[in-house]
Amino acid sequence: MSRRAARSRRTKGAAKFAIRAALESDYDDIHQLFELAERRNNLLLPHIYKYPERPVRTLEYLQKAISTAGSTLLVAEAAGQLVGMVRAAAFSGPSLPPTGVGQVGYLFVIEPLRRLGVGTSLLNRAHRWILESEVTRVDAEVLRSDDGAFSFFVGHGYREITQVRSHVVGDDPPEVSRSIRDAAAGDYAAISDLLFDTLVYHAEVAPGEYTTPEPPGIARDAYDAVLEDENQACFVADIDGVLGVARARLMASAAYVGGRVAMASHVHVPEEHRGRGVGRALMAALERWAADHDSPRVQLRVSQANKDALAFYDRIDYEPMSAMMTTRLDE
């Protein structure tokens, strides 16, 4: 069945509603939709998402959402009540794929009107808005435990390209191996080479997701900024020389349990040094750092095409949290 035919079939018998751009006067109804959406996140992943506290979104958030260039907030209205919403954005530039990148998020429909075409209409209108920006690739993040939402996006032509993984550090974080230390100014060349290697590797295993990099792996000023930032960490495995690297930064979020999370990135051990516990030791250092900075979790992204990394994170108990999904509007 074609995508168009599938959409037509799903929308038969749809409720009477209209899709329009959000207005500042919609604030109370939109606030309620966000609150219901975050309650659902808490129900599905209570160790990650806390029960929402008011205000879930401020009036300033809405004002920015409806006035910022390159983004929009669309709502579904039925009988004078807002029953659904979706936020859309579109980005383009030299560092992005030629298709540009669009995003849809916060797609939510109240329970009585689900499976009646409201979600499909919201998504279609968001796609149309993104196409008007001459962007044809669209990404969406979906909780992996939300089977209905995952199936909805698959049914609309999306496929999973990246997993978001999460690990709760707990009250007894691991000890750090003596082979792991903080990166220093003198490690720049070795770390830049390692970061370039991982960028090349990702471009090779997932060419549709990552652009072919140019050296260096990190600019010198950017590297120095990482070392000076107390909210960022960079660890190296030093065993007769630097042979592995892992980075993290703290990200605040009122939606998360604990109010913050340590976002890991650029975890890389060259193939010839794998199988010796280096990667596990680097992750233990990140987990200890997260605990020392009052972050209850470490979170990261891993490409669906990177089978070795997926297996590694399975072994060290990083659970799938959400799926980064994508579709092309020109296909």
The whole-model pTM stands at 0.90
Tell me if residue 102 falls in helix, strand or coil: strand
Residue 1 pLDDT level (bands cut at 50, 70, 90): very low
Whether the pLDDT of residue 91 is over 90: the answer is yes
Residues 224 and 143 both lie in one domain: no
| Domain final residue, candidates 122, 157, 192 | 157
- Whether 142 and 298 have beta carbons less than 8 Å apart is answered as no
Residues 124 and 10 both lie in one domain: yes
Residues 142 and 193 both lie in one domain: no
Residues 56 and 130 both lie in one domain: yes
Query: 245: domain CATH number?
Result: 3.40.630.30
Give the pLDDT of residue 331.
67
> How many domains is the chain built from?
2
Residue 326 lies in a domain: no
Residues 220 and 314 both lie in one domain: yes
β-strands 81-91, 71-78: how paired? antiparallel
Residue 176 pLDDT level (bands cut at 50, 70, 90): very high
Residues 149 and 174 both lie in one domain: no
Lowest pLDDT segment from 9-23, 155-169, 267-281: 9-23
- Whether 120 and 127 have beta carbons less than 8 Å apart is answered as no
| Residue that wins the pLDDT comparison between 10 and 210 | 210
Residues 148 and 43 both lie in one domain: yes
Residues 36 and 16 both lie in one domain: yes
Per residue in 92-138, pLDDT tens?
877 777 789 999 999 999 999 999 999 999 999 999 999 999 999 99
CA angle 143, 144, 150 (to 5 degrees): 85
Residues 313 and 173 both lie in one domain: yes
Question: Before 216, cis peptide (omega within 30)?
Answer: yes
Average pLDDT over residues 213-233: 97
Separation CA 276–CA 262 (nearest Å) = 25
Average pLDDT over residues 152-166: 98
Residue 158 pLDDT level (bands cut at 50, 70, 90): very high
Percent of the chain with pLDDT over 90: 88
| Domain final residue, candidates 130, 157, 184 | 157
Residue 287 lies in a domain: yes
Residues 292 and 184 both lie in one domain: yes
Residue 330 lies in a domain: no
Separation CA 256–CA 48 (nearest Å) = 6
Residue 94 lies in a domain: yes
Residue 224 lies in a domain: yes
Give the pLDDT of residue 99.
82
Site of tokens 């030629």: 98
- Whether 272 and 308 have beta carbons less than 8 Å apart is answered as no
Domain with 31, as residue range(s), is 3-157
DSSP per position, 261-328: EEEEEEEE--GGGTTSSHHHHHHHHHHHHHHHTT--EEEEEEETT-HHHHHHHHHTT-EEEEEEEEEE
Lowest pLDDT segment from 1-10, 226-235, 309-318: 1-10
Separation CA 306–CA 80 (nearest Å) = 48
β-strands 137-143, 101-109: how paired? parallel
Residues 268 and 180 both lie in one domain: yes
CA atoms within a 13 Å half-sphere pointing along the CA-CB vector of 224: 3
Site of tokens 């979170």: 299
β-strands 242-252, 71-78: how paired? unpaired
| Domain final residue, candidates 157, 189, 209 | 157
Residues 175 and 49 both lie in one domain: no
Per residue in 11-22, pLDDT tens?
444 569 999 999
Rounded to 10 degrees, the C-alpha dihedral 111/115/116/121 comes to 100
